[in-house]
Chains A and B, each alone.
Chain A
Amino acid sequence: ETGVTQSPTHLIKTRGQQVTLRCSSQSGHNTVSWYQQALGQGPQFIFQYYREEENGRGNFPPRFSGLQFPNYSSELNVNALELDDSALYLCASSPTGGTEAFFGQGTRLTVV
């Protein structure tokens, strides 16, 4: 059974640029959620995708957007990067109707 994988593991971007982060969900899981974890904080919910549709969104601006593909993999896109966007971005997959989240190792984004 393949777990949740994220790419890239590390990324450095300049303020104002755009970034795309990728996530492959665990086999059999059709729900993907994205979280932002700032240094010294717990993860904050960004949004969730279920069957290619957004299924809930946290308190993040519209420049944070996402996609889910037919194979349940997902992308997180962030436009007009700001310094405060520097964080660990975590992807988690869940089985249908399940609340337990299985996390990837995360993508460490640094905005300079």
Chain B
Amino acid sequence: TQLLEQSPQFLSIQEGENLTVYCNSSSVFSSLQWYRQEPGEGPVLLVTVVTGGEVKKLKRLTFQFGDARKDSSLHITAAQPGDTGLYLCAGVPGGYNKLIFGAGTRLAVHP
């Protein structure tokens, strides 16, 4: 069974701080996606990383895919209250179209 473990589960920080969220697995994924989910809403896709070692930037968010395609990280610089939400990583197993989600990291950024 392929699993994705996210850490930390909860993160409460002040506006302006930096943070990193980790997504780890013992399995290889053909690609990995990061989503953000607000209360009462469905997840919204932020980025897809495909190549081992790939780094993608989305404004203050930096996403990295591990060299072995088993892990990923999300780094947020100078967090803002608008970054508050549930961050989910999701892996795509090779040969399948389903997504395997981690349990998520709940981020709260206080003004």
Contacts and interface: CB of A to CB of B under 8 A. Distances in A.
Interface of A: 4, 31, 33, 35, 40-45, 48, 55-56, 58, 90, 92, 94, 99-106
Contact of B99 (A4, A41, A45, A104): A45
Contact of A42 (B31, B48, B88): B88
A48 B42 contact: no
Given A4-B42, A90-B42, A55 B103 contact: no
Interface residues of B, number: 25
B106 to A, nearest CB: 9
Contacts, number: 64
Given A41-B103, A94-B97, A100 B33 contact: yes
Contact of B43 (A48, A90, A99): A90
B91 to A, nearest CB: 10
A33 B98 contact: yes
A43 B99 contact: yes
Given A90-B43, A100-B45, A101-B33, 19 more contacts: A4-B42, A33-B97, A33-B99, A35-B99, A35-B101, A42-B6, A43-B43, A43-B99, A45-B100, A48-B97, A56-B96, A56-B98, A92-B42, A99-B33, A99-B97, A100-B33, A103-B44, A106-B41, A106-B42
